[in-house]
Amino acid sequence: MVGADELTTEDRKPGLRLMAVHAHPDDESSKGAATMARYVAEGHDVMVVTCTGGEAGSILNPAMDRPEVLANITEIRREEMARAAKILGVQHRWLGFVDSGLPEGDPLPPLPAGCFALTPLEESTEALVRVIREFRPHVITTYDENGGYPHPDHIRTHEVSVAAFDAVGDPDRFPDAGEPWQPLKLYYGHGFSKRRMELFHQAMLDAGMESPFTEWLARWDAGRPDVMERVTTQVECGEYFEVRDEALKAHATQIDPDSRWFALPLEVQRKVWPTEEYELNRSLVDSTLPEDDLFAGIKEKVSP
């Protein structure tokens, strides 16, 4: 296992490495994109790993809901992902598994054979371990045990990410998947905060605007805890919200540019809530909570 005290000269270069593991193309742009854009701007290397091709995704932008788009959805989503990665300035890897889809009905139908959520955990873990050992990130971000929301691919992404974090530094695990490398921190990204929604909602009402959050807040389960109770780390990244939005719009099959995603002006977002939120799950370095930097405790440890 390679630890922080055993890093080579190359590993101690000023720019550190961050890996974000996501389930589908577009997840990287809706979850933590401004954080990634900030770290790229600061000279760090960032890689997005997408576990599936998003083949089962619906067309959510009415302007793209055309037969020729649906017939070529896999290729189109790959092209969208490439554009989003370029906008964010990140490297990108496909893990190569098949989108499980989001089962609906009562009772729920079975997941399709061969999909990501049904792939044996050892197989998908080895695939991610191989990419981690190649890129050698200091920090990995992924979803919590609920997947952010209970899509089977998001939950599986959590399981694979945690398993890979625990295995990747062990030379006895997946010995044919590259030289061992131990990331130093693992975070869960959190986005759907009730408190954040409430503040955005009130800001829009105060500005005399119609709030897109009225319905969401009305449907919020009173017994559902706010994810802010779990957050340990808030990364200031308001300066990069415009980059985030452009990356989102690159996923034209999934994102309607006239949707409520973009209803709240960026200047209001920056004033009311200029951060993205994370939960530190594992750390092999000392850092003081709460944090404002995913590399907290690492910069001091590995910088020359």
Q: What is residue 303's predicted lDDT score, i.e. its pLDDT?
A: 54
- Is 27 annotated to bind a ligand? Reply is yes
CB-based burial, 192-229: b 16+ in 10 Å, e otherwise: ebbebbebbbebbeeeeeebbbeeeeeeeeeeeebbee
pLDDT band at 150 (very low <50, low <70, confident <90, very high): confident
Helix/strand/coil percentages in the chain, nearest 5? 40, 15, 45
Decide the pairing of beta strands 275-283 and 185-190.
Answer: antiparallel
**Domain boundary assignment for the chain:** 4-193+227-302
Beta partners for 49?
Answer: 21, 93
DSSP reduced 3-state for 233: strand
Residue 212: φ, ψ to 5°: -80, -5
The pair of structure tokens assigned to 121 is 């955990």
Q: Write down the architecture of domain 4-193+227-302 according to CATH.
A: 3-Layer(aba) Sandwich (3.40)
Cβ neighbours of 232 (radius 10 Å): 17
Indicate whether this model's pTM tops 0.75: yes
- Average confidence score pLDDT of the chain: 91
Whether 221 has a binding-site annotation, put simply, is no
Tokens, residue 35: 């954080």
- Mean per-residue pLDDT for 216-237? 90
* Amino acid 14: pLDDT: 58
pLDDT band at 187 (very low <50, low <70, confident <90, very high): very high
